[in-house]
Structure formats: C-alpha cells, structure tokens
Amino acid sequence: MIHIHQVKKDYCIGKAFVHALRGINLDIGKGEFLTIAGPSGSGKSTLLNLIGCLDYPSSGEIVINDVSIGGLRDREMNNIRLNTIGFIFQSFNLIPVLNVFENVELPLLIMKGVSAGERKKRVDYFIEAVGLSKQVKQKPSELSGGQRQRVAVARALATKPKIVLADEPTANLDSKTGIEIIELMHEISRRESTTFVFSTHDPKVMQRADRVVRIEDGLIKNGGEI
C-alpha cells in the first residue's frame, strides 16, 4: 500500500540547513493500524506530510497505491489527496463557518461521480459512525474537543480513502477522549479495511496500534518492516 525507500527531506530555515529525514525505509500494508512514535522534532510530521502528498521528498522514493509521487504535478497530488488519502489534524482543522454536516460533506463536493443523494447518505453514515448524529447542525465552536476530532475523523473517512493519516490526533484531547478517538479509528480501520497511520508520543495511544514505528533524528529506529 505504502512503500518508502531511502527518503530524505532537507529544509533551509534561515541560514540553517535541517536534515528532517535522513533515509527512511518503510512499508505499510493494507488495513494496517500503525503509529509513528518519537519525540518532538524527530521527523514524524515531515514523514506524514510526505506520505500525505503535501510535500515532495528531497530524495528517495515514495509509492502510494502503486503510484510513485516523486514526479507528480500539483493537480495529480490534489487527486491523490482527494481520492486516496484522508487527513486528521492535531488542531482538528474544521472550517469554523460550516456545521458538522457541511464539514464532513466538504471533500465530497469536489469528488467526481458522487451524486447529491450518495453524498448525503455517506455523510449521514459517517456522522453516525462517529456518534454525532445529534450534532449535525452544530458549528465546531459549539462542540467539545473530542467531538471536533470525531467530525475530523468523519470528514477524513467520507471520501472512502484507502489511507488515513493523523498527525498527533490526540494531542489536544484529554487522555480518556484521546483513547476513545484512537479506538474509534481502530474500529473503523477494521470495519472499512482502511490503512491508518498516525503519529503520537503518548505511550497509552501507542499501545492501541498494530505496529509502532519509532523514529528519532530523522531515522527509523525500529518497526520499519512488516
């Protein structure tokens, strides 16, 4: 499903040259529930951004669903993000002016071949799956942190992606709610056979993952192979 070979990513921050990833090799299979663990600044988010087609690697190869993303143009990257990948963010990243239903519906509005009826059906289904059927008309500002992250989960799943990427999805939640969100994601992963890749540095969250990949100073320390 995801094949990462000798991926490096370098940044220039001012005059400083930062080696964020220094040769990552990682394979992730279909339906895996995998966590990337490591301290702050270890390169977790950079790796997720590259898998998520939000950025290009400096060198190396990333293959997602048999497509190498190295030479893709912006439009093709958009299509992969829309059709293959779902995102869940640490700060939820919901659109504040839209209600729960509209937030979940948003990516479906630009998807080809999804009728209005199908769209509504899917949105209702995933809102119910994350347990927010009673909050469909509410705006993000009227929801708790846990509820907001549930909306983000529903939005990420609405396009029926093959891969869901979550960058520290529990970081802004209390530990009980965080565990609930991870369990919800795990259950959906099993039910929908969706690959979940999420980053965390919370040991309680790591325990829920099928596989833990540890990353330090831009290199995988263990768990890189299936």
Partner 1 sequence: MRLFLLPLKNAYIGWRRSLTLGTFIFIVSILLVIFNMFIMTVKSNMQNAIINSLTGDIQLRSAGTEEKDMFSTSGNWGKASILDNEQVNTIKNTVNRFDKRIVIYDRIRYNAFFESDKAKDAFMFIGMDPKNDQYKKAFKLEEGRYLEPGNLNEIVLSKTQAKSLDVKPGDNIKAYSKTINGDMVSKTLKVVGIGDFELLSSFSFSVAYVHVESARELAGLRSGEATDVITYIPDKGKTDEIAGEIASSLDKVKLDKSKVKLTTWKDMGGFVMGLITLITMMFYCFIIILMIIVAILIINLIFMIGMERRQEMGTLRAIGFGVFRIVTIFMSEIIFIALSFSILGVLAGAGITLYFSQNPILASPPWDFAMGKRFFFNFDYWQIIYVLGIVMVFTFIASYYPSYKAASLKPVDTLKEE
In the complex, the residues that contact partner 1 under the rule CB under 8 A are 49, 52, 54-55, 74-75, 78-79, 81-83, 86-87, 89-91, 93-98, 102, 105-107, 109-111, 155, 159
The smaller minimum CB distance to partner 1, of residues 11 and 125, is found at 11
The smaller minimum CB distance to partner 1, of residues 93 and 138, is found at 93
The smaller minimum CB distance to partner 1, of residues 137 and 221, is found at 137
Q: Least distance (Å) from partner 1 to the CB of residue 217?
A: 20
Query: How many C-beta atoms surround the C-beta of residue 32 within 10 A?
Result: 19
Q: Least distance (Å) from partner 1 to the CB of residue 133?
A: 20
The smaller minimum CB distance to partner 1, of residues 51 and 208, is found at 51
What is the token pair recorded at 194? Answer: 């969706």
Residues 6+ apart with CB under 8 A from 88: 149, 152, 153, 156, 164, 165, 166, 167, 169, 185, 198
Q: Least distance (Å) from partner 1 to the CB of residue 140?
A: 12
CA–CA separation, 124 and 104 (whole Å): 9
The smaller minimum CB distance to partner 1, of residues 110 and 226, is found at 110
Q: Least distance (Å) from partner 1 to the CB of residue 201?
A: 16
Three-state DSSP class for residue 213 = strand
The smaller minimum CB distance to partner 1, of residues 48 and 209, is found at 48
Beta pairing, strands 33-37 & 211-216? parallel
Q: Least distance (Å) from partner 1 to the CB of residue 151?
A: 12
Query: Exposed e or buried b for every residue in 155-175, given b needs 16+ CB within 10 A?
Result: bbbbbebbbbbbbbbbebbee
Residues 6+ apart with CB under 8 A from 35: 197, 198, 199, 200, 205, 206, 208, 209, 211, 212, 213
Q: Least distance (Å) from partner 1 to the CB of residue 86?
A: 8
